[in-house]
Structure 1
Amino acid sequence: MGSAHAVLEVRDVVKTYGGVRALGGVSLALEPGEVHCLAGENGSGKSTLIKIISGVERPDSGVLVIDGHTLSHTTPSDAIRAGVQVIYQDFSLFPNLTAAENIAMLDELAARRRLSSRRRIRAAAQRVVETLGLDIDLDADVAELSVADRQLIAICRALVGSAKVLIMDEPTTALTHSEVRRLFSVVRRLQERGVAIMFVSHKLDEVLQISQRVTVLRNGEVVASGPASAHTARSIAKAMTGRDISDERIVQPLAPDAAPLMVVNGLGRKGAFSDVDFTLSSGEILGITGLLGSGRGEIADAIFGVAPADTGTIAVSGRQHTIRSIADGVRAGIGYVPEDRLTQGLFLEKSIADNMVAASLDSYRTRARLLDRRRISGSIAELFARLRIKAPHVQAPVRSLSGGNAQRVVIAKWLDRNPAVLMLNGPTVGVDIGSKEEIFAILRAQAAQGTGIIVISDDIPELAANCHRVLIVRSGRIVAELAGDEIDVDRIEERMTA
């Protein structure tokens, strides 16, 4: 594979780790002013390829051609000097420095200046911001800025370094619809400047909206590559997984006599949300959505006791509960998979097995208050198999798992308690499309056993496909409820933005 016009080429790159092949002869090319989507499930080789392009990892064989120069390997400094920049999901910014300082920092280091000039730094940052037509407070500390503004600062930092190739890893994960539109507007300005962009995302509708070309990896090999116009979200999903992925509604009818499982009345917290009323039935999957900042996540935090409500009542299984803490939420029979699974849902240094039983150890104690190791091992083995967690064994560190498998461990932790109600906030953020489908299959199976499921998400297609009802939150209030045939993507988005 090759192109006379390519600013970056990857030719027959192979990489193995401990005998396991992560990349098996991958080739692709990026041309100036092109947005090239790199798609694939977790574990497909995307991250390894990015590390090789950026110089973090060295390939076993194959070469990179950057701006006409052939390299068998490179270092991060070499890649940056050649014009290759990577914007990772965490943006790698300094929160205690200003926006201007973050933008100009790498350029200052590259020039090996011993003394920095605030005037020079601000002027360099201002030039890039004006070039892209952005409105960013350059004097504000990055810690004070929104996720969307931090994303744009990371882009500006790359341009100060005269980036020719910009790799964006899951750039829209935490952005609202309006912020995504703003980001895409900036991406198009970058294209006009001739910057080649590798866009890595699980959100296939966005991929098709912004990309000119698509390359799909599966098991470390290129299984599809070509113009984005030749693809649909479904064809990309099939290439990623090797099977057809349905986007139609997969909702089992509720039993006519399904009992109310949770009743929320008049729930409110000053400055966050108010007058929240809803009922969740046994076996129901209830979606709650709204734009970022609508109050949807705060409602979930209040129900579980993370940040308790000031007013209102919560009843579970016919019994009213005062939920002032997480312990109260757990005692009420509620499980909660938080939005940030890495910092709030898992013990990263512990094993899969330890994480699975972390919330239910007391239930395994004998009369002598000793832990029943045989029962614990049996439960862990059953959950490991039932949730199809892809790992060599249950003692593997949870830190080593992909996003989808890490999410399954958090879900397993709560299923081991057999909660009456299981809430999940952003259950498929950063999860590939195959794992998304499997996670919702797990939730549907749990609902079929009578558990009430609440899904808080801004992934509208997944809500439309899986929920019996969807509640729309705006400005801290439930402003609409959709059920049955009323539920479709267009109608949900219309109610969210009305």
Structure 2
Amino acid sequence: MSDNILELRHIGKRFGGVQALDDVSMTIRAGEIHCLAGENGSGKSTIIKVISGIYTPDSGEISIGGETVAKLDPIKAVNHGIQVIYQDFSLFGNLTVAENLAMNTFVMQGRKRMDWRAARALAQRALDRLGVSMDLDAEVGSLPTANKQIVAIARAVVADARLIIMDEPTTALTRHEVDALFAIVRDLQAQGIAVLFVSHKMREMLEISERLTVFRNGRKVAEGAMADFDEAAITRAMTGAEIATDHYHFTDRGAEPVLEVRGLSVPAAVDGVDLTLKPGEIVGISGLIGSGRTELARALFGMEREMRGEMRLGGAPVRPRSVQEAIALGIAYVPEDRLTEGLFLGQSIKRNMVVSILDRLKKGLFLDRAAMDAETARMFSAMQIAAPDAELPVGNLSGGNAQRVMLGRWLLTGARVLILNGPTVGVDVGSKATIHAIIRDLAVREASRC
């Protein structure tokens, strides 16, 4: 048997007029931790779906364990030991840990009834292999993100995985949880299981991976031992350019604060926070998941009815009790989870952009479509949004472009205070640099008015 778990040779895949994968060759060895990097739209998701049998390549060959596999489909991929853990984990939230871990095995065995004792035993063995302890009777939907991920990994182990693909596995994890995940990944490696680690996070790539493959525009542009790369080299390979690391230097010109908060509290989340924000100033608020940073942001945006404390905007006391009141006061909020809290995924980019200013766009009983087009075009330019048509569904955009739509939406309101909750979560290095540059430019322009 070959030491290579997976070999892709000259893989090509086209969707309409878009060449998603162009002559891609790639090898993953047994027991290897291999990182796959690339910007959004580089072809990472497409190659994962080719490996897992969801997409059939237009050209090229796939070899698993030294055997060339024709017409790979999802069932064949699983039978060959390939498991994918997507960002949503694809678990049954209303079932217990034991039921989630036993479900696929029992279905494959053709069982007609649930054997609870066998399910618990199977689940316990899987968790023991990972060296973790968990309540087998806990509903998965009630678990924290890190534990859901462990259940997903354990399910792959139950299925005798030889290659586990982890798609952005650390997006919602704290540093402590990342360390625990990496310990599990290294334990999988010790058991001879290969891991393909797909991530945007440079430091984590360098920390966990032995080899690296980089995609750009559907092509493999770099590959080699991780020891041969640093953050700058990975960035150059991903973007094809040097990404400057600029810092924002705020100069206090003595202007009155635009926002003042004294003793802000939210029950069970935030206790007695004081905060001052001056025009053109960028204030960072950091904390682990559950530390209260999101509740603080929501309170400032009128989303926490039980907020206590004093809040002043431009020197005047305010207390927004709703999102509508906050917007009217000139406060804007970009949530951390743009997919569930920020965007109307089935609606067009244009509609998502102008939804915050519909009252301003009214022309009698209808909306002024010329004004809608003008405002959208202005924000496309200002936010550097890469999309061929503003009428496309916003759900089709990459994470970086979708986040810029969110920023543009709130800038159209002329907000005096812009609250950004994790503004670069789930975006690639190039988009992150662009978003940071936009934020710096906004602050510079605001500071220059004072």
Query: Shared fold (TM-score greater than 0.5)?
Result: yes
Per the alignment, residue 457 of structure 1 pairs with none
Offset from partner CA, 1:29-80 (integer Å, 9 cap, x none): 1111110000000000000000000001010001111112102431100000
User: Equivalent of 2:438, from 430, 437, 442?
Assistant: 442
- Number of corresponding residues: 448
Q: Is the 8 A contact 2:299 2:307 kept in 1?
A: no
- 1:258 Cα deviation from its structure 2 partner: 3.5
Counterparts of 1:136-175 in structure 2, within 5 Å, are: 136-175=134-173
Q: Is the 8 A contact 1:317 1:420 kept in 2?
A: no
User: Equivalent of 1:380, from 351, 376, 379?
Assistant: 376
1:240 aligns with 2:235: no
Q: Name the amino acid aligned to 1:286.
A: V
Q: Is the 8 A contact 2:52 2:83 kept in 1?
A: yes
1:340 aligns with 2:340: no
1:425 aligns with 2:421: yes
Q: Name the amino acid aligned to 1:147.
A: T
1:290 aligns with 2:311: no
Q: Which runs of 5+ in 1 are unaligned?
A: 453-498
Q: Is the 8 A contact 1:61 1:72 kept in 2?
A: no
- 1:280 Cα deviation from its structure 2 partner: 0.4
Q: Name the amino acid aligned to 1:399.
A: G
Q: Is the 8 A contact 1:267 1:309 kept in 2?
A: no
1:205 aligns with 2:203: yes
1:215 aligns with 2:213: yes
Per the alignment, residue 388 of structure 2 pairs with 392
User: Equivalent of 1:352, from 349, 353, 358?
Assistant: 349
SS at match of 1:44: coil
- 2: distance between equivalents of 1:315 and 1:357? 28
- 1:421 Cα deviation from its structure 2 partner: 0.6
Offset from partner CA, 1:95-132 (integer Å, 9 cap, x none): 00001111121111121222220111111010011121
Per the alignment, residue 113 of structure 2 pairs with 115
Per the alignment, residue 15 of structure 2 pairs with 17
Offset from partner CA, 1:279-324 (integer Å, 9 cap, x none): 0010111110011111111111111112234311211122221111
Q: Is the 8 A contact 2:214 2:237 kept in 1?
A: yes
Q: Is the 8 A contact 2:2 2:65 kept in 1?
A: no
SS at match of 1:349: coil
SS at match of 1:260: coil
SS at match of 1:288: coil
User: Equivalent of 1:77, from 64, 75, 78?
Assistant: 75
Q: Is the 8 A contact 2:250 2:280 kept in 1?
A: no
Change beyond 3 A, Cα 1:33–1:258? farther
Per the alignment, residue 64 of structure 1 pairs with 62
- 1:426 Cα deviation from its structure 2 partner: 1.0
Q: CA RMSD in A?
A: 1.5
Change beyond 3 A, Cα 1:407–1:139? same
- 2: distance between equivalents of 1:385 and 1:234? 28
1:404 aligns with 2:400: yes
- 1:364 Cα deviation from its structure 2 partner: 2.1
Q: Is the 8 A contact 1:62 1:72 kept in 2?
A: no
Q: Is the 8 A contact 1:13 1:27 kept in 2?
A: yes
Counterparts of 1:190-339 in structure 2, within 5 Å, are: 190-247=188-245, 249-339=246-336
1:365 aligns with 2:362: yes
User: Equivalent of 2:36, from 11, 35, 38?
Assistant: 38
Q: Name the amino acid aligned to 2:27.
A: A
Q: Name the amino acid aligned to 1:95.
A: G
Q: Is the 8 A contact 1:171 1:201 kept in 2?
A: yes
Q: Is the 8 A contact 1:305 1:326 kept in 2?
A: yes
Q: Is the 8 A contact 1:301 1:308 kept in 2?
A: no
Q: Is the 8 A contact 1:64 1:73 kept in 2?
A: no
Report which stretch shifted further, 262-271 or 305-314. Answer: 305-314
Per the alignment, residue 479 of structure 1 pairs with none
Offset from partner CA, 1:362-397 (integer Å, 9 cap, x none): 11235x465332222111111112211111111011
- 2: distance between equivalents of 1:166 and 1:451? 49
- 1:451 Cα deviation from its structure 2 partner: 7.6
SS at match of 1:285: coil
- 1:398 Cα deviation from its structure 2 partner: 0.4
- 1: distance between equivalents of 2:347 and 2:82? 36
Q: Is the 8 A contact 2:3 2:65 kept in 1?
A: no
Q: Which runs of 5+ in 2 are unaligned?
A: none
- 1: distance between equivalents of 2:321 and 2:447? 23
Identity %: 48
- 1: distance between equivalents of 2:140 and 2:63? 35
Report which stretch shifted further, 95-104 or 37-46. Answer: 95-104
- 1:255 Cα deviation from its structure 2 partner: 4.5
- 1: distance between equivalents of 2:294 and 2:378? 31
Q: Name the amino acid aligned to 1:341.
A: R
SS at match of 2:367: coil
Q: Stretches of 4+ moved more than 6 A in 1?
A: none
- 1:329 Cα deviation from its structure 2 partner: 1.3
- 2: distance between equivalents of 1:259 and 1:71? 68
- 2: distance between equivalents of 1:185 and 1:308? 41
Q: Name the amino acid aligned to 1:411.
A: L
Report which stretch shifted further, 250-259 or 116-125. Answer: 250-259
- 1:252 Cα deviation from its structure 2 partner: 3.5
1:125 aligns with 2:123: yes
SS at match of 1:238: helix
Q: Is the 8 A contact 1:241 1:434 kept in 2?
A: yes
- 1:254 Cα deviation from its structure 2 partner: 2.3
- 1:328 Cα deviation from its structure 2 partner: 1.7
Q: Is the 8 A contact 1:258 1:283 kept in 2?
A: no
Q: Is the 8 A contact 2:345 2:393 kept in 1?
A: yes
